[in-house]
């Protein structure tokens, strides 16, 4: 069976962007039954920018609770915390020696996050995509469900796999395919339709957090930036209206409807009518998840047990692949 791997950073609370762009797809791929699915809290990635230790631990457990509450079944999928499977970091070192400085310097996430102050960014932030390639390839995973922002990192993963295979004259690491599907592959900020919804945006009003209560969700949607025009009759009519288009995409993704079906239903409506309907839908879909997350967080020992068990299962796959990699490279075993 083909293997699926994906991860999320425990660098803050989960957003609606993470849920629609990533976790909801993770659940779909798990339930499709056609793949072995491995999902990861990437704590080693999170510390590429400063994380308060107590926050990191809490965010890691809360993220695990978010996965499970959203429908990831730790029996069907392997649910892990990255640092508990040391093979990720071990393979990342090999990939640090395969990847080129120039490749890394072209990554838009690096440029965005390091900004003008690259001299002061961590070395880990620069090497981030090599660790991500290792996360995926340590399992020989071939399918990676992600949001659109991760497309470039997945191309780099293929470049690393191809260069490794070429340099060592082997056909060892597979070419991975990004799986970027659905109506909400890029959920935008509620305050600015040209910016990605992000857990690190300083404005809390820009995002919906998975832990927001019903009133907060409704208020954020009511205040979301829009324009004065009513909704157009077709999706095409949203081309130059990023804020409105974002709300329609969110509606489509939450309701599992196609964008065209949504437009057939809401075309012509004023935002005064559409926003409350979107708020009701968001509360209906998200409240059960946040309720279940809160329940799971009352027993963190159980979460820790699930992650320990996941790490054991993951290492059974990863250790032999790391061992083979070392042999290919010429490390004496
Ligand atoms: N706005 C989004 N729309 C669709 N998908 C998104 N993802 C993130 N934001 C959106 C997807 O969620 C997965 C995990 O992301 P991550 O936590 O590893 O890192 P990120 O992309 O850096 O997430 P944030 O929320 O933007 O965090 P910060 O603010 O810390 O950078 C990925 O599959 C991503 O595509």
Could you tell me if the CB of 196 is within 6 A of ligand 1? yes
Please check if 147 is assigned to a binding site: yes
DSSP sequence for 167-210? HHT---SPPPEEE--SS-SSPBPSS-TTSB--TT-S-GGGS-BT
**pLDDT value of position 81:** 98
Residue 25: pLDDT over 90: yes
127 shares a domain with 33: yes
| CATH for 238 | 1.10.240.10
Q: How many CB atoms lie within 10 A of CB 18?
A: 25
- Residue 115: pLDDT band (50, 70, 90) is confident
The residue nearest atom 12 of ligand 1, judged by CA position, is 18
Smallest CA separation from ligand 1 atom 18, residue: 8
Q: Are residues 226 and 107 in the same domain?
A: no
Rounded CA separation 145/148 (Å): 10
Q: What is the structure's pLDDT at 127?
A: 98
Range of the domain at 323: 3-179+300-329
Structure tokens at 108: 């838009």
Residues 32 and 144 in one domain: yes
Atom of ligand 1 nearest to the CA of 15: 25
Mean pLDDT (the chain, rounded): 97
For the entire predicted model, the pTM comes to 0.96
Q: Above 90 in pLDDT, residue 116?
A: no
State if residue 59 touches ligand 1 by the CB under 6 angstroms criterion. Answer: no
**Is residue 208 located within the same domain as residue 171?**
no
Q: What is the mean pLDDT of residues 313-330?
A: 98
Whether residue 107 has its Cβ less than 6 Å from ligand 1: no
Same domain for 304 and 271? no
**Of residues 76, 116, 196, 239, which has the active-site annotation?**
196
Please check whether residue 119 lies inside any domain of the structure: yes
**Residue 199, domain member (yes or no):** no
Average pLDDT over residues 155-173: 98
> Is 17 touching ligand 1 by the criterion CB < 6 Å?
yes
pLDDT of 155 > 90? The answer is yes
Query: What is the CATH number for 15?
Result: 3.40.50.620
| pLDDT at site 245 | 97
* Mean pLDDT computed over 305-311: 98
- 235 and 169 both lie in a single domain: no
Is there a domain that residue 249 lies in?
yes
Give the model's pLDDT for residue 200.
Answer: 86
- Please provide the DSSP assignment of 123-161 as one string: HHHHHHHHHHHHHHHTTT--EEE--GGGHHHHHHHHHHH
Say yes or no to pLDDT of 117 above 90: no
Catalytic residue among 76, 113, 219, 225: 113
Whether 195 is covered by a domain: the verdict is: no
* Predicted pLDDT of residue 67: 98
Say if residue 211 is in the same domain as residue 124: no
Average of per-residue pLDDT across 55-72: 98
Q: Is 15 in the pocket of ligand 1 (CB under 6 A)?
A: yes
Q: Are residues 21 and 95 in the same domain?
A: yes
pLDDT tens readout for residues 173-218: 999 999 999 889 999 999 999 999 999 899 999 999 999 999 999 9
Q: Which atom of ligand 1 is nearest to the CA of 200?
A: 29
In a domain, 198, yes or no: no
Task: Tell me whether residue 192 is in a domain.
Answer: no
3-state secondary structure (DSSP) of residue 7: strand
The predicted pLDDT at position 75 comes to: 97
| Per-residue exposure over 68-107, b if at least 16 CB sit within 10 Å of its own CB, e if not | bbbbbebeebbbbbbbbbebbebbbebbbebbeeebbeeb
Q: Is the pLDDT of residue 163 over 90?
A: yes
Among this protein's residues, is 113 annotated catalytic? yes
pLDDT tens, position by position, 85-100: 999 999 999 999 999 9
Strand ordering across the sheet containing 78-81: 78-81, 36-41, 3-8, 143-145, 177-179
Do 263 and 241 belong together in one domain? yes
Residues 25 and 152 grouped into a single domain: yes
Domain count, the chain: 2
> Same domain, yes or no, for 69 and 158?
yes
Identify whether residues 146 and 9 lie together within a single domain.
Answer: yes
């Amino acid at each position: 069976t083909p293997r699926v791997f994906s991860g999320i950073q425990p660098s803050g609370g989960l957003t609606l962007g993470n849920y629609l762009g990533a976790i909801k797809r993770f659940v779909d791929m798990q339930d499709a039954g056609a793949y072995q699915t491995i999902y990861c809290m990437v704590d080693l990635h999170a510390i590429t920018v400063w994380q308060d230790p107590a926050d990191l631990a809490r965010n890691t457990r809360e993220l695990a609770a978010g996965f499970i509450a959203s429908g990831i079944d730790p029996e069907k999928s392997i649910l892990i915390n990255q640092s508990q499977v040391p093979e990720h970091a071990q393979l990342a070192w090999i990939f640090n020696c395969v990847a080129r400085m120039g490749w890394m310097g072209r990554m838009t996430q690096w440029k965005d996050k390091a900004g003008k102050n690259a001299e002061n960014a961590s070395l880990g932030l620069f090497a981030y995509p090599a660790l991500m390639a290792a996360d995926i390839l340590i399992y020989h995973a071939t399918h990676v469900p992600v949001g659109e922002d991760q497309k470039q990192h997945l191309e780099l993963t293929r470049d690393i796999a191809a260069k490794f295979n070429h340099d060592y004259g082997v056909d060892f690491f597979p070419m991975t395919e990004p799986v970027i599907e659905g109506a909400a592959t890029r959920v935008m900020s509620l305050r600015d339709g040209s910016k990605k919804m992000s857990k690190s945006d300083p404005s809390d009003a820009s995002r919906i957090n998975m832990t927001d209560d019903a009133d907060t969700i409704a208020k954020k949607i009511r205040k979301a930036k829009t324009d004065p025009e009513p909704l157009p009759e077709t999706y095409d009519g949203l081309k130059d209206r990023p804020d409105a288009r974002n709300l329609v995409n969110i509606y489509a993704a939450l309701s599992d409807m196609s964008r065209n079906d949504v437009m057939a239903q809401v075309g012509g409506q004023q935002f005064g009518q559409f926003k409350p309907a979107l708020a009701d839908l968001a509360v209906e879909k998200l409240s059960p998840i946040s309720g279940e997350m809160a329940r799971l967080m009352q027993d963190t020992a159980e979460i820790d047990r699930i992650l320990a068990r996941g790490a054991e299962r993951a290492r059974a796959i990863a250790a032999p692949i790391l061992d083979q990699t070392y042999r290919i490279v010429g490390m004496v075993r």
